[in-house]
Structure formats: C-alpha cells, structure tokens
Chains A and B, each alone.
Chain A
Amino acid sequence: MKLSLGEKLVTYLVLVIFAAFALVPLLGVVITAVSPSSSTSGFRMPESIELGNFVEAWDRGHFAQYIMSSVIVTITVIVVTTVLSVMAGFAFARLKFFGSNIVFFVLLAGLLLPAEAFIIPLYFNLRSAHVTDSYWALILPQIAQSLAFGIFWMRNQFMSFPGEVIEAARLDGATDLRTLWQIIVPPSIPSIMTMCLLVAMWTWNEFLIPLVMVTQDNLRTAPLGLAFFQGQHATDYSLLAAAGIIIAAPIVVLYFFLQKRFISGMLDGISSR
C-alpha cells in the first residue's frame, strides 16, 4: 500500500523527533566526555575535542581492573548458562519425565521473581559459606537468574524443531545426548547466539548483585566501578561521561552490529513467557 507524500513527511517528522528525544541525552554524554575536564563550567559545546578524559578515567578509575572482572564474570555466566539451558530446554521440549511440570513451575518462578525477593538471605547464606567477596558470588547467582530465561528460550526453540529428524536419529541408534549436540544444536546456533547476547548484556549491566556481594576493589565489575567512581568524582562530569562510555561501549557496539537479534530477542523472549 502506497503512502501519500504528506503521510510520509509526517511519519518521518515524528520518527526524527523521537529518535532525537532518545539520542540527545546520549549525544550530550559524548560531547561532555570530549570536553575539557572541569567541574564548574557546565554544559557547552566544546571548542576542541579532547580525548584525555578517557585516558584519565581509565587510569584514575581502575577501569582496566573493573572491565577485567566484568569479562571474567560475563564469559563464565554465558558458557555455563548456555550448556545448562540447552540441556534443560531439550529435556522439557523433547523428553518425558516424572515431575517435569513441577520442575518447570519452579524454574518459571525464577523468571518472575525480582532480585529483591532473594538477594538479602542470599547474601547472608553466601557469607556463611565464605563465598562473598569472590567472583563466585557474582557468577553463581547470575547464572541462576539467566538460566530461568535461557531454559524458556531454548525450550521454545527446540519445540519447533522438526520431530521427524529426531525420530530418524533415534532409529539410527543415536543416544539422546548425541541427538541433542549433533542433530539439534547445530541448526539452532542462531537462536543460541541470541540467547548468549541477551545474557551477556544482562550480566555486563548488572548492578545490584555486585553491589551487595563484593567489597574488594579488585572484584568490582564495570558498572559497580562507575558507581564508586561517581561517588569520588561527583561533579567531574567529563570524567564520568568518559567512564560511562567506556563501560557502555562493548554492549552498544555489539548492539549496532546485531540489533535485529537484540530487539527480537528481548521482545519475543518477554512476550513468549
């Protein structure tokens, strides 16, 4: 159906206004980050572009250390979540077992519970087990939260996998485990990738779990590091903006390259719950 010229113009105008609404604060950050560092002058367009803030934020904020922590936590969470989600998603989609409904319900609860529901006792439990102030305290709860989503995602994916192919593999004498990894997983890689991206984003951006679980500076993840950096340099907005860009950059770059996966993953993942 053809749109009239007038309709097109109005549509573009609305889209441009709201794209600008979304972008202006973010462009403001970029402009602040390349402005000379100062705490008093306030926002204005810079006369020259200054990249020194990034270097200074990186050095003074220990961001090399924080990013390292974030990378360690994120990669571990992705690997464990993927393996366990694929296994459990397969079982729920394709195998029959006693109590599957109850188990599924328990995992569903994990998807709906907000972090506030469990974080307080979880902290005290992990403290008595001497696990707080370690990467494990960041990784294990994050896996538990990510699994809730991952299992639903993989189950939906595997339920739509053609049953005849699986039957054929079984008739050829393949075990369930072999059928899963050699027959079902390879064609499902795109949807597994989408899950990995979303888990990476949620883990990288997570704030509450690191805030509660670690006190040592060298264990802080990037967002937690930024929060502490903000506490120390409360009004040095140029440095803060530079630090913010450093932290947001990895996920934003991934997003620009794979935006369709991010958007469809987030919207489908949520609406299919």
Chain B
Amino acid sequence: MTVTTRLRSGETRTTGAAPSRTRRRRIASLKAFLYVAPALAFSLIFLIVPTLQTAWYSLYDWNGLSVATWAGVQNYIDIVQDEQLRDSFLHVGVLVVFYSFLPIAIALLLTMVISRAHALRGMSFFRTVLFLPQVIASVVIATTWLSIYSPNGLLNTLLRAIGLDSLTHVWLGDFNTALVSVGFVGTWLNVGLCLVLFLSGVGNVQPELFEAARLDGASGLQEFFGITLPALRGQITVALTLTVVSSLKTFDLVYITTRGGPGNSTSVPAFEAYNRAFNSGQVGSAASVAVVLTIGILLITALIGRLQPKDTE
C-alpha cells in the first residue's frame, strides 16, 4: 500500500512526465491495434463491405454483366408480390417447425423421461451417436436422404415391408410431400443436438434438488416443471437460436435434393438468392432477398437472445 501511494504522489508532483506518458500509452495502443489489424482487415474486406454492397445491389436491376439500372425499392416490392419469392419465405415458416419446434419439443419430452440419464453408464456412447449427424457434411447428408426418399429407397422399402404399400411416395417429387420431406431431414439433424444440449443442462442441476423434491412427494411432472424446465432456460434459448437460424439458412439440402422443385414447392430464400444471382441473372432481386433474409436472421437472433436468463451470462 505504501509503495503505491508513494508512486502516485510522485506522479502528481512531476508534471513534466505527463506528455511522454500519454505518448507511451499511444504507442502501446497502436501496438495493440496491430494485433487485431489483420483480423479486422479480413472481416472488412470479405464480410462487412460485401454485406453493405448487398444492400446497395438490392436497389438496382442488374444481370451481372451489363450496366445496372436504378430500381429503387422495386426488388423489395417484388418479394411481396412475386408469388415464387413470397412462397420461398412462407416455406421457411414450415421449415422452422420441422427444424426447431419439433426437435425441441421431442427433446424436452425425452429429457422429462430420462432427466437423470447423464449419470448412467454408457451415456458418452449415446451422446456421441446422437451428436454424430452434426459433424457430417451437409452435402453428404443431402445425398443420403436423396437415396432414402428415392422410389425404391429405404423409406419406401420399410413401408412395403410392414404392409403400408399405399403410403409409399416419390417423396421429393410430389408437390404434397416434398417440403415436409426436406423439413424432416432437419428434425432428424436437430433432435440429437437438442437432446445432448438439454441432458448436459440437467447434468448441471444439483442432485439434492431432485432428492428434496422426491422427499416432498413431487410427481415426475411437478419435478419437470419445477426444477428441470427452469434449469434448462439457457439451453432452450441456445437450441432455439441454433435451430431457427439453421432453418432460415437452409441451402445445401435444397440445392442437392430438389433445387426448389417440384415447381417451386421447396424453394427457400437462400436458394432463391443463389439461383437468381448466379443462374438467372437477377442480381438485384437476389440481393434484396439476401437483405431480407439477413435482417430476419439478425432480428430473430436478437429476439431469442432476450429470452436468455441474465444469471447464466
């Protein structure tokens, strides 16, 4: 303590040292900035500036080659009026149910039944298996399901084997089943993710809490709503963010399995943006779709982030 006070009083007395100290601080600040400069340059050149350009592009009519003409907000009006674009955004609504709500609901239900599974032997094996789909390339996942949904694929074979021949479909080629089939792949992908996330959350709950609840004669349902669900709020927000954003970003799966078809029954915004920019020469329209999609993703991330309980941060 005495040392620091002496130093401090020494500083106040020698006023002549002040300029050199600010300069030293400036040099230190500049040096520190050099540590982040390369990363900042990467972010600006490859992410930030192009993102701003996307907003700029969206106000033009441009085929990617000739001179662009000013279009104002016409591209945005088209998103509402053009049936194909409007549908692509509506399809995302269906995908959110399959990618996010269903997996979270199923995983929560399972967590209720097996809330103390994390303590069981062999849990690390189950965790590995349940999480496995997350690490496989989306293109491989897509070709896998393409094969499963094919006329003589695994799904139809199974249906025939149990005598449900009438239910067999050309799943991805039928207007009625294509979007649901694409969505179900999302359910398959995300159930494991949510379950692993929730079980790890329950693992953090002190076992005494459950024991106390049992001694008080709480039913399984009361235990779930009283202890498990509140403890999982953080994990549920994370799961919501992850799965909703992944459904909004769906591209690889649609590109490989259906290319938006049949008709445009499985088209999604990310696919429309890609297709218009790089195949059909409607760069301005593609950019406007990208802008709306980006704003949607940022808004939803922010909204869900608000649900996050403060104490876990």
Contact = CB atoms under 8 A, between A and B. Distances in A.
A181 interface: no
B79 interface: no
Given A112-B301, A113-B294, A120-B277, A14 B42 contact: no
Interface bin, chain A: 35 or more
A47 interface: no
A67 interface: no
A217 B122 CA distance: 45
B50 A118 contact: yes
A251 B135 contact: yes
B31 A11 contact: no
Nearest to A32: B147
Interface string A93-137: 001111110010011011011111111111111000000000000
B164 interface: no
Contacts of A112: 297-298, 301
Interface stretch (A22-30, A160-168, A186-194): A22-30
B306 to A, nearest CB: 14
Contacts of B30: 97
B273 interface: yes
B143 A244 contact: yes
Interface in B81-134: 110, 113-114, 116-117, 119-120, 122-124, 126-134
Contacts of B278: 123, 212
Interface in A247-261: 247-248, 251-252, 255-256, 259-260
Contacts of A5: none
A98 B33 contact: yes
Interface in A58-101: 84-85, 87-88, 90-92, 95-100
B294 A106 contact: no
Given A44-B157, A116-B293, A270-B242, A11 B113 contact: yes
Interface string B149-167: 0111110110000000000
Most buried by B among A84, A97, A255: A97
Contact of A116 (B132, B137, B145, B270): B270
A100 B256 CA distance: 42
19 contacts: A8-B120, A19-B126, A19-B129, A22-B188, A88-B40, A95-B28, A109-B47, A113-B51, A118-B53, A119-B274, A121-B50, A124-B64, A208-B251, A211-B255, A241-B147, A247-B137, A259-B127, A266-B134, A270-B238
Given A88-B36, A147-B39, A251-B135, 15 more contacts: A12-B120, A18-B195, A25-B148, A88-B40, A96-B29, A106-B48, A117-B51, A118-B51, A124-B283, A223-B138, A226-B137, A240-B147, A241-B147, A247-B139, A271-B238
Interface of A: 1, 3, 7-8, 10-12, 14-15, 18-19, 21-26, 28-29, 32, 40-44, 84-85, 87-88, 90-92, 95-100, 103, 106-107, 109-110, 112-125, 140-141, 143-145, 147-148, 151, 176, 201, 204-205, 207-208, 211-212, 222-224, 226-227, 230, 235, 237, 240-241, 243-245, 247-248, 251-252, 255-256, 259-260, 262-263, 266-267, 270-271
Interface of B: 28-33, 35-36, 38-40, 42-51, 53-54, 56-57, 64, 110, 113-114, 116-117, 119-120, 122-124, 126-140, 143-148, 150-154, 156-157, 188, 191-192, 195-197, 200, 207, 210-211, 234-235, 238, 241-242, 245, 248-249, 251-252, 255-256, 269-270, 273-274, 277-278, 283, 286-287, 289-291, 293-294, 297-298, 301
